[in-house]
Structures are given as structure tokens and as C-alpha cells.
């Protein structure tokens, strides 16, 4: 279904919507009235349009039975470390957002690369027999590293690279457009992992100063809901986002760091993993605020082969 198929959307309105980044029915369905008014629609038309988009993608109540069926379709993807998988209740889940946060060098990008490889493994080897999309905002995607990890898993590295869709996001608007595009190509490319590495760097760079904080959080919030609904839920995909931490000089006891994006990111992510460096190749992963898993910690390693116990 295209946005032109929605009632009241002619070529002109469609062009306006696309220009503002609302290029899919999902994005219109999850827009707020205020956002569509900003595009130039009247209030009544905005409400009508959102409703018809929501009907179009069947976004309302469903039976408990349908809900159960959907939950049963959740796939678990191995990280490469059994310890880390156990911490997560069996691996990274589809239909969920997993946030990896920690300082530089803590292993966020390495885990993201590993998941893009592992998703291509057969299910009995901890994979999902599917493919990955990698949205790279920091220019740290490395095909050479994918090749090393693929070889270590006995996969054909060329095949693994061919099955990985990579895009560099140049700013936060581009990042949003790429996520919408990802939703469009998810089925065609059999996508079960979407990586956004990193979620927050562009937002952080573009919205500086106290005055723009609310706007930044609102946009980040919209982006996370887009990931959850149009990719996680709709395509049964595991969404992986990375997030840097910032220093909190006001915290006197405990760990004086906190993830960027604050509470909005915290409440939207289904799993949050705090990563820190240990000795040498050791890393410590801590699960935080998971809805149905106890908080806990584990140790894994980053080796030449990738993520290991």
C-alpha cells in the first residue's frame, strides 16, 4: 500500500508528505496531528489521514489469540557468546529494540557486526536464516571485519556481504528516511536484523544546547517508534541500536555515566545492555530494566573471530 492509496491523498499532498519524510503508510499512521499540520494539512484532514493510514495497516485492537500468535513468532538470535545469550533469555529478540550502550571501545559496533553475520546462520546454529540492514552513522562499518567473522562461522564471506544492505546516514533526517526505506525493503531482502549504529550521534550533534532538547527528544522518540512499529513489529525483525554514554558530573556515587537520549530511549528499548571494558579482550555486559528478565551481568570477549565466551 502506497500513501497515494489513502483517501484524500492526491499527487500534491503525496509530494508534500514525501518531502517531509512521510513516504510510507506506516510513517503516516504513526505521525502526530501536529506533525502533519506542519506539512501543511488542516487539522481535520490530518486526523482523517492518520485514521485511514492506521486502518490501512490494521493498527488497532487485535484478539489475545492473535497477539499470542505474534509473540510465538519471536525469533532469538545468538550474539556468539552463550553467556550473553543467556543474559538476554536466549539471544537478541525479534519484534524488539535492543540498545547497546557504553563508552568508546566497549564493543557496541563489534556486537552489531556480529549480529549482522549471525542472522545469516541457520536456525539450529543460533541464526535466523535471514539477512541484515546496517545503517551506519559514524562510518565504522567494516566489510573486512564482516569477512573475518563470517569465515569464523564457516559462512561464505562474499555471500554474507552480498546479503547485507549497508547505508551511511549523513544526518538525522537522512537516518529517518533510511529507516523508512528499510521497512519498504524488509520483506524483499528477508531482513531479520536492522542495525542503527549509532542511534544518537547525529541527533546529539545537530540539536545542541538546552533550547533544542525537547525538539531532539521528540524526533528521537518518533524515530524509535518508527523502528519498533514499521520494522520490529510489522516484519518480525530484531532492531539493534547503539548509544554512547555521557559523563554526569552530578552523580557522586556509582557509575557517573548515562546513555544519551535519556528516558525516551530507555522506555522504548525492550532490552538495554550496558557494556564496559574489562581486561584486554574482556568485556562486561549488564542487562538493565528488562521487562521479563532479571537484571544481571556477564563477561564475553572480542577476539579475531568476533564475539565469543
Integer CA distances (angstroms), 223 to 26, 105, 200, 203, in order: 12, 25, 10, 11
Strands 131-136 and 191-197: parallel
The region that residue 105 occupies, defined by phi over 0 for left and psi between -120 and 50 for alpha, beta otherwise, is left
Question: Which cell is 308 given?
Answer: 565469543
Q: What DSSP state is assigned to residue 171?
A: S
User: What is the spatial distance between Cα 292 and Cα 60, in angstroms, rounded to a whole number?
Assistant: 24
Task: Considering only the stretches 53-61, 90-98, 140-148, 220-228, report the one whose residues sit in contact with Mg ion under the rule CB under 5 A.
Answer: 140-148
Q: Please choose, out of 6-14, 48-56, 102-110, 205-213, the segment that lies near ligand GTP by the rule CB under 6 A.
A: 102-110
Residues 96-115 that bind Mg ion (CB under 5 A): 108-109
Residues 234-263 binding ligand GTP (CB under 6 A) are 244
* 102 near ligand GTP, rule: CB under 6 A: yes
Closer CB to ligand GTP, residue 58 or residue 247? Answer: 247
For the chain, counts of helices (H) and of strands (E): 14, 13
Q: Which stretch binds ligand GTP (CB under 6 A): 5-13, 22-30, 41-49, 106-114?
A: 106-114
Q: Does 106 bind ligand GTP (CB under 6 A)?
A: yes
Judged by CB under 6 A, the stretch of 1-9, 21-29, 107-115, 233-241 that binds ligand GTP is 107-115
* One of 23, 24, 98, 109 touching ligand GTP (CB under 6 A): 109
CA neighbor of 160 nearest in space, from 120, 126, 110: 120
- Which of 9, 245 has the CB closer to ligand GTP? 245
Among 44, 71, 104, 292, indicate the residue that binds ligand GTP (CB under 6 A). 104
Q: What would the grid cell of residue 164 be?
A: 547485507
Q: Does 143 bind ligand GTP (CB under 6 A)?
A: no
Q: Are 202 and 169 in contact (CB under 8 A)?
A: yes
User: Is there a contact between 256 and 246 (Cβ–Cβ < 8 Å)?
Assistant: no
Binding of residue 304 to ligand GTP (CB under 6 A): yes
Nearest approach, Cβ of 291 to Mg ion (angstroms)? Answer: 26
Q: Which of 49, 135, 260, 302 binds ligand GTP (CB under 6 A)?
A: 302
The backbone torsions φ and ψ at residue 221, rounded to the nearest 5 degrees and listed phi first, read -60, -45
Which residue ranges make up the site for ligand GTP (CB under 6 A)? Answer: 102, 104-110, 140, 145, 244, 281, 302-304
Amino acid at each position: 500500500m502506497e500513501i497515494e492509496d489513502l483517501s484524500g491523498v492526491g499527487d500534491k499532498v503525496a509530494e508534500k508528505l514525501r518531502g517531509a519524510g512521510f513516504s510510507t503508510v506506516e510513517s503516516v499512521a504513526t505521525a502526530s496531528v501536529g506533525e502533519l499540520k506542519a506539512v501543511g494539512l488542516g487539522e481535520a484532514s490530518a486526523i482523517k489521514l492518520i485514521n485511514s493510514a492506521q486502518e490501512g495497516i490494521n493498527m488497532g485492537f487485535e484478539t489475545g489469540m492473535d497477539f499470542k500468535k505474534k509473540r510465538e513468532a519471536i525469533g532469538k538470535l545468538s550474539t556468539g557468546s552463550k553467556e550473553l545469550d543467556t543474559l538476554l533469555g536466549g539471544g537478541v529478540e525479534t519484534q524488539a529494540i535492543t540498545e547497546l550502550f557504553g563508552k568508546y571501545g566497549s564493543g557496541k559496533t563489534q556486537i552489531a557486526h556480529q549480529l549482522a553475520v549471525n542472522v545469516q546462520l541457520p536456525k539450529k546454529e543460533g541464526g535466523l536464516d535471514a539477512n541484515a540492514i546496517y545503517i551506519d552513522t559514524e562510518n565504522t562499518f567494516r566489510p573486512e571485519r564482516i569477512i573475518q567473522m563470517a569465515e569464523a562461522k564457516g559462512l561464505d564471506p562474499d555471500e554474507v556481504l552480498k546479503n547485507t544492505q549497508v547505508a551511511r546516514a549523513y544526518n538525522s533526517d537522512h537516518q529517518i528516511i533510511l529507516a523508512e526505506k528499510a521497512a519498504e525493503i524488509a520483506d524483499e531482502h528477508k531482513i531479520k536484523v536492522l542495525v542503527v549504529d549509532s542511534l544518537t550521534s547525529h541527533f546529539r550533534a545537530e540539536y545542541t544546547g538546552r533550547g533544542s532538547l525537547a525538539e531532539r527528544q521528540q524526533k528521537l522518540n518518533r524515530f524509535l517508534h518508527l523502528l519498533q512499529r514499521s520494522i520490529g513489529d510489522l516484519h518480525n525483525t530484531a532492531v539493534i541500536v547503539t548509544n554512547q554514554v555521557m559523563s554526569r558530573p552530578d552523580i557522586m556515587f556509582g557509575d557517573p555515566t548515562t546513555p544519551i537520549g535519556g528516558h525516551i530511549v530507555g522506555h522504548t528499548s525492550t532490552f538495554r545492555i550496558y557494556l564496559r571494558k574489562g581486561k584486554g579482550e574482556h568485556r562486561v555486559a549488564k542487562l538493565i530494566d528488562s521487562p521479563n528478565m532479571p537484571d544481571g551481568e556477564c563477561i564475553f570477549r572480542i577476539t579475531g573471530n568476533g564475539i565469543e565466551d
